Amino acid sequence: MTARQLAIVKDALPFLLKAFVNVTLPLTALSFLLALLISVLVAMIQYAKVPVLKDLCRVYIWIIRGTPLMVQLYLVFYGLPDVGIVLDPFPTGVLVFGLNEGAYMAEAMRGALESVPSGQLEAGYCVNMSYTSTMWHVILPQALRTVFPSFANSLISMVKGTSIVSAITVVDMFKEALDIIGRHYEVLPLYIEVALIYLVFCSLLTLLQRLGEKLLGAYGGAR
Has domain 3-222 been given CATH number 3.40.605.10? no
Note the Cα 83 to chain centre separation in Å.
28
- Asked if 148 and 212 touch (Cβ cutoff 8 Å), the reply is yes
Q: What would the pLDDT profile of 63-115 be if each residue is shown by its tens digit?
A: 999 999 999 999 999 999 999 999 999 999 999 999 999 999 999 999 998 88
CB atoms within 10 A of CB 184: 17
When the pLDDT of each residue in the chain is averaged and rounded to a whole number, the result is 90
pLDDT band at 219; cut points 50, 70, 90: low
pLDDT tens across 37-57, in order?
999 999 999 988 899 999 999
3-class SS of residue 7:
helix
Q: What is the pLDDT of residue 136?
A: 80
Distance CA 186, CA 192 (A): 11
Task: State the helix-helix crossing angle for 3-19 and 173-184, rounded to 10 degrees.
Answer: 150
**CA distances from residue 80 to 64, 86, 92, 104 in whole angstroms, order as listed:** 17, 6, 11, 24
Residue 207: CA count within 13 A, CB half-sphere: 6
